[in-house]
Structure 1
Amino acid sequence: MSDLYDILDPWGPSNGSTTGGATAAIVPGIEESSRRCLDNVALPPVYAAAHAAALRAGDGRVTRDVLLQTLEFSNLPRHVIGQIVLAADTGAGSLTKQDFNLALAMTALAQKNMSPSLESVMFHKDDLPEPVLDGIEELAGSRANGSQPQSPTGALEVSDDPWLNTAKGPGDLAASTAALGSMSLADNRNADESKEAHQQQKQQQQRNSADGNTSAQTFVPNINMEAMQWQLDMEDVSIREAAEKGGIVFKHTNYEVSTRSFSSMVVRRYNDFFWISNYLIKRYPYRMHPNIPPKGFPDNRIKGLTRFSSAILRTPFLRRDALVIQFFTNTDEFSHVVKVGNLDMDAEEIEPEEELDSTPWAEVQQTYVAFDDFYGLVARDEEKYRTQITSLEKIARYKQAIGDELYTYSDTLRVANAPRECISGSLKYYMQPPAKRALDSGLNELCMSFGDASLLEKSHGEVLKTISAEYLRRLYDVVVSMKLMMDRMRQMDKQRDIQRIRERSDTSRKQLALLSGGDAPGASGDRSSIERLERLVREDTAELERLEHEQRCIELRFYHELARYRCYECFLQTHYHGIVEEQIKHHTLALNAWRQALATADELPSNPLDFIS
């Protein structure tokens, strides 16, 4: 689904701590002056109270997760909260008081139905409304009591990266949450005890896995989809076509790419998008990532590039990539950025033992054994979503056609303004009787009712085409991304090479044993042959270790990406809920229009003698 990349990074650090200050230094999107616009402004006491509560909730620092929890008390829609967090968070791991105050100022503007942006804060800095955070005291109070702060919706969890922790069950999840909630900077002893308990728990789980006692436990990623639901509908990129450049014969189209989170505008060509797509495949071969639209069909290219770019910025591990940041922020020609940047083009390196955490390795292997079965499921999902998209597009076209025909029918009902009497001759046969005038008036009203029905049908078709079909297309793009990733994994699978090298190594060891006299007492082989076999055994052993490491990486990534892929199914609820809501709304409006038409039709004169009276 080209663009349903709203799930947080399974391997990335919480709150963007991997990149730390480096990312903030790379991002040139927001000028320092705009972020310091509130330094000399007298802010209401609610700012200090909210910041103090956030500090207590975050153990002395305000992380992105704590900011999300704080803004939940504003009762704003989740997508608005997400927009505010994106604008305030610099990716440095924790927010300064300056950034926190900016977030509260944007919250206050949003509560007054104004644009929640840094530009609006700068414009209204002298007359900022006061943010309303009902129950903000609970944020610090619950933390002080050793429990997790609860937002009004109860949707947010401990970390803004729900993939970091692996839940073993409700009891273990509650225990880990309570352990995290009880830790504080002022009590290092409790922190050490909690860490030691976590290590003991992990060792116990490894022992259970070795003993084969994992069947009674369920190891699934602890994903809080509802807390990140705002990312699903968030479009962070807008693209519009710029002036063509080049000579008379060879011209190319430029695209102005504007990003809200980076507050930047760059000019890119289609080849630049194609290059960054190839880079993502080489850099992250074992992950799902967006697919670039084909170069054909120029009418739909802007829409496809917008979905592609927005999907990149909705995927955290891609958003943190240095080259991706340069692509969306560096105003130079991208080919020049690539040449002088000396950027890393090798595939990312991972340590399976570290990323495995508490998940039993046997479960990862069992999942990979069923690779072909999962591939068949993904292929069926692709066919299913393609059929659904085609059906919705057909329905949209039928709605448009029905709307056009209804408008044509409506136009035939419109009565032209005719003279009521003739200049010459008898007026008896040229004056319109009251029934005729009533009929003309009723036909004009019916014309309007049919016109309303025509507009409703066209509107309904447009909604299905631009909202439902496009939203479902995101799911379809994710399925395609998963299938392409599995194709790459199938091509890079090392099992056959591992088996071949093992057999060759075993043969070399047997020959070495025979030559060295290990199996036949008194036998002695040629020294050069023994050295050659020993060298081959060492080389095969090193090669085998390398291939086994790569195979473990493939199997572990497949396990995590499969879990990530499954999570997208939950978005079907939002998709079909939107379809049904639109159906009910448009059919209700259409029903009212037809009822009005029925009332008008009932009022039309029905006695033939009234027309000649």
Structure 2
Amino acid sequence: MEENMSDSFFESVQFETGQSLSSDMPDVQSLSFSAEPLNINIGNPWDPPGGGTDISSILSDVALPEIYVSAFTIASSNDGRVSISALNKILNISGLPHASIEKILNCAVPTNNTRVNRGEFNVALALVALAQKNMDVSVENLIEHKQDLPEPILNNLESVNFNRNLSFSAISSRPPALPSLQADDPWAIPSGNGYADIQYTVETPSQFRPSVVQPPITRNSISDDEFQWFMDVDVISIKFAPEREGFLFKHINYIVESQRRETSVVRRYSDFWWLMECLVKRYPFRILPALPPKKIGVVNGFYFTVDETFLEKRRKGLTRFLNFITRHPVLRNDALVEIFLTEQSIAEWRKNNTPDLEEEYIKKQITPEMEANIPDNLDERLSKVYNKLDDAIEHYRNMCNLMERMARRQEGMAADYMRYSLALNSLIEKEKGCYIDDCYNCSQVVHGLEQVSIHFQKTGAVMEDAAIATLDTVLENLKRHRDLLVSFRETFERRDRLAVDTIETLNSRIETNQAKLTPLAGVKDAEPEVDRLTNVIQKDRTDIELQRKRKIFLRHCFYAELTLFHKSSAFISLLYQNFVNDQIKYSQQLYENWKSLSPKVYDMPIETNGFG
């Protein structure tokens, strides 16, 4: 029930139906459907701008063997890109020496990139094929031979494990906060990074363990209603469909999956827009989520193309959009929402059906209890909240940018640790074998360097996981709350535009028409005019009753939405609890990694006499 808010929720296309939306449709074009500020390619803040050959487009006009597709599918995450560590695992099964692998990475992956797209991935595999045939590994040589490329050999590709599982020892490092609700966390969204839940184990010294560990949330720690809501909450995930459609202009399809409904449907961006238009028409006084923009056009005189970064932000924005709807106590029960999540062909459904677009209040019964539940000081409460929204939105936008910058820097450091490990391995290959045949100390140095390389690679993997966790959980949850703030502000704006009543005007017109009607009583041949005035008066009274009903229902809606908004404070607490737990977990993993390396580097000889 909507009245029980414990059971509630907790990144243009022309709409066509048999019923026009244009006449009294709320102005959806005036809404800022994207709460996402325009950030073009944040990347690593300290990196210089790239230039030169566009690596990703070198093989765009070449028909490549199936091995390219299968390798990319296995290694890529839901954002359609491959991490440096995953690419490194692919290259390691090629049988090439470390020096060749390092050279391939340097050629195919720009230095400021932490992930590669399909084009860059294909270039890396093509360079592998050249190296396996003892051909020169260079972009120039690749361009020269791109029409007659050999096929790369990747042995045991299917057996490569891309779920980073760095087991150190002993006990689990993550404090057991909230484990019982991990799968049904109402604010959690699927990570979208293609990795399973990674379990690390470390032996943590007592001085590094948190002194206070939060107990798990169980049925005993929350009310029965709230616990049942946690169990019933749906989780919507969205990923890119593998193939684009369209004859001249290719468009992206999205695979939308509902966990609770166990459904999977394919949708276009225009379908999301259609759903949003319908919801704005039906629920103008409810909090409606922000829809991310379809594309980026000209901004301050500069034209920005739609790249992988923008598409990934849009995918995550669409995910937040649908998860918001399926958690809202009213929107989640809407028939069109159910159709959107279950109907296989939404275009076919729209062709054969006319959606019900009547405003919500028309079919609602306004009871005295409903009116009595609305607090007398509702306007004062709403005013206090509204006056704080602009500042809160600005702060959350800034915090989202800062959190993303921190995660991108960590992602960049992870890639640098990976590259350093590769460079060290290449050096080891060259340094093996001292000019003194029986030099024991040189072999010990080489062995120590091998251990350093291994642990640098582990460090990169841990830091990459930490960055991904921040980007896919903490950052997305910050954006979700930012979207909530923006959406609530837009709800106030719709109210100011649409909640205009004409009750006083209608009452005046009724009095005027009644005054005209009185002298006509009993007048011969005045029946047509009497009937006309009577009908007008009756229609005006009906309109007044509808407007009064709408006015009461509007206040009821705003009280319900204000309560929902207020409960979001619990979400903020959970957000930072999870963030702190993640920081503890990954910090402990890094500590244990360096700790296990320490005795190995101290076994390396430092006495100069031993190198005589």
TM-score w.r.t. the length of structure 1 is 0.54
Shift of 1:275: 0.7
Aligned counterpart, 2:113:
none
Asked whether 1:329 is paired with 2:350, we answer: no
Cα separation, 2, equivalents of 1:421 and 1:371: 78
Aligned counterpart, 1:347:
359
Aligned counterpart, 1:283:
282
Aligned counterpart, 1:391:
402
Cα separation, 1, equivalents of 2:380 and 2:536: 31
Q: Give per-residue Cα distances to partners, 1:55-103, cap 9 Å, x unaligned.
A: xxxxxxxxxxxxxxxxxxxx993466899xxxxxxxxxxxxxxxxxxxx
User: Secondary structure of the residue that 1:266 maps to in structure 2?
Assistant: strand
Cα separation, 2, equivalents of 1:597 and 1:372: 59
Which among 3, 12, 30 is matched to residue 10 of structure 1?
3
Aligned counterpart, 1:592:
592
Cα separation, 1, equivalents of 2:251 and 2:498: 36
Moved more, 577-586 or 410-419: 410-419
User: Kindly tell me: are residues 443 and 419 of structure 1, through their superposed partners in 2, closer, same or farther at Cα, counting changes over 3 Å?
Assistant: closer
User: Kindly tell me: are residues 281 and 442 of structure 1, through their superposed partners in 2, closer, same or farther at Cα, counting changes over 3 Å?
Assistant: same
User: Kindly tell me: are residues 584 and 355 of structure 1, through their superposed partners in 2, closer, same or farther at Cα, counting changes over 3 Å?
Assistant: farther
Cα separation, 1, equivalents of 2:337 and 2:280: 13
User: Secondary structure of the residue that 1:77 maps to in structure 2?
Assistant: helix
Shift of 1:610: 2.1
Q: Give per-residue Cα distances to partners, 1:339-383, cap 9 Å, x unaligned.
A: 42233211112657427448454x2x4212453432122333322
Q: What is the aligned length?
A: 388
Shift of 1:396: 0.6
User: Secondary structure of the residue that 1:262 maps to in structure 2?
Assistant: coil
User: Kindly tell me: are residues 609 and 256 of structure 1, through their superposed partners in 2, closer, same or farther at Cα, counting changes over 3 Å?
Assistant: closer
Moved more, 456-465 or 350-359: 350-359
Asked whether 1:454 is paired with 2:557, we answer: no
Aligned counterpart, 1:182:
none
User: Kindly tell me: are residues 11 and 547 of structure 1, through their superposed partners in 2, closer, same or farther at Cα, counting changes over 3 Å?
Assistant: farther
Shift of 1:590: 1.1
**Structure with greater helix share of residues:** 1
Q: Which runs of 5+ in 2 are unaligned?
A: 9-177, 187-217, 296-309, 520-527
Aligned counterpart, 1:228:
229
Q: Indicate the percent of aligned positions where both proteins have the same amino acid.
A: 23
Cα separation, 2, equivalents of 1:82 and 1:393: 22
Alignment of 1:125-524 (within 5 A): 153=220, 155-157=222-224, 160=225, 224=226, 227-229=228-230, 234-241=234-241, 243-247=243-247, 249-296=248-295, 297-331=310-344, 333-348=345-360, 349=362, 351=364, 353-354=366-367, 356-357=369-370, 359-361=372-374, 363=375, 365-414=376-425, 415-416=428-429, 418=431, 420=433, 430-431=436-437, 433-494=439-500, 497-498=502-503, 504=508
User: Kindly tell me: are residues 256 and 452 of structure 1, through their superposed partners in 2, closer, same or farther at Cα, counting changes over 3 Å?
Assistant: closer
Instruction: Give yes or no for contact 1:413–1:447 (8 Å, CA) kept in 2.
Output: yes
Cα separation, 1, equivalents of 2:416 and 2:6: 57
Cα separation, 2, equivalents of 1:596 and 1:80: 33
Specify the code of the residue in structure 1 equivalent to 2:377.
Q
Specify the code of the residue in structure 2 equivalent to 1:77.
S
Shift of 1:419: 5.8
User: Secondary structure of the residue that 1:294 maps to in structure 2?
Assistant: coil
Instruction: Give yes or no for contact 1:277–1:291 (8 Å, CA) kept in 2.
Output: no
> Quick one: higher RCO (CA 8 Å, sep 6+), 1 or 2?
2
Cα separation, 2, equivalents of 1:451 and 1:537: 82
Cα separation, 2, equivalents of 1:448 and 1:470: 32
Instruction: Give yes or no for contact 2:271–2:346 (8 Å, CA) kept in 1.
Output: yes
Shift of 1:276: 1.2
Instruction: Give yes or no for contact 1:350–1:553 (8 Å, CA) kept in 2.
Output: no
User: Secondary structure of the residue that 1:261 maps to in structure 2?
Assistant: coil
Instruction: Give yes or no for contact 2:382–2:562 (8 Å, CA) kept in 1.
Output: no
User: Secondary structure of the residue that 2:266 maps to in structure 1?
Assistant: strand
The alignment's C-alpha RMSD in Å is 4.1
Instruction: Give yes or no for contact 1:406–1:453 (8 Å, CA) kept in 2.
Output: yes
Cα separation, 2, equivalents of 1:82 and 1:292: 22
Shift of 1:573: 1.6
User: Kindly tell me: are residues 288 and 11 of structure 1, through their superposed partners in 2, closer, same or farther at Cα, counting changes over 3 Å?
Assistant: farther
Cα separation, 2, equivalents of 1:227 and 1:11: 13
Instruction: Give yes or no for contact 2:291–2:318 (8 Å, CA) kept in 1.
Output: yes
User: Secondary structure of the residue that 1:153 maps to in structure 2?
Assistant: helix
Moved more, 392-401 or 403-412: 403-412
Cα separation, 1, equivalents of 2:494 and 2:441: 77
Cα separation, 1, equivalents of 2:228 and 2:7: 15
Shift of 1:397: 0.7
Asked whether 1:553 is paired with 2:546, we answer: no
Cα separation, 2, equivalents of 1:79 and 1:445: 36
Instruction: Give yes or no for contact 2:241–2:252 (8 Å, CA) kept in 1.
Output: yes
Instruction: Give yes or no for contact 1:235–1:310 (8 Å, CA) kept in 2.
Output: yes
Cα separation, 2, equivalents of 1:454 and 1:76: 27
Specify the code of the residue in structure 2 equivalent to 1:585.
K
Q: Give per-residue Cα distances to partners, 1:85-129, cap 9 Å, x unaligned.
A: xxxxxxxxxxxxxxxxxxxxxxxxxxxxxxxxxxxxxxxxxxxxx
Cα separation, 2, equivalents of 1:570 and 1:281: 27
Instruction: Give yes or no for contact 2:503–2:544 (8 Å, CA) kept in 1.
Output: yes
Question: Quick check: which has more Rg, 1 or 2?
Answer: 1
Specify the code of the residue in structure 2 equivalent to 1:366.
N
Cα separation, 1, equivalents of 2:509 and 2:393: 42
User: Kindly tell me: are residues 391 and 542 of structure 1, through their superposed partners in 2, closer, same or farther at Cα, counting changes over 3 Å?
Assistant: same
Instruction: Give yes or no for contact 1:352–1:556 (8 Å, CA) kept in 2.
Output: no
Moved more, 532-541 or 566-575: 532-541
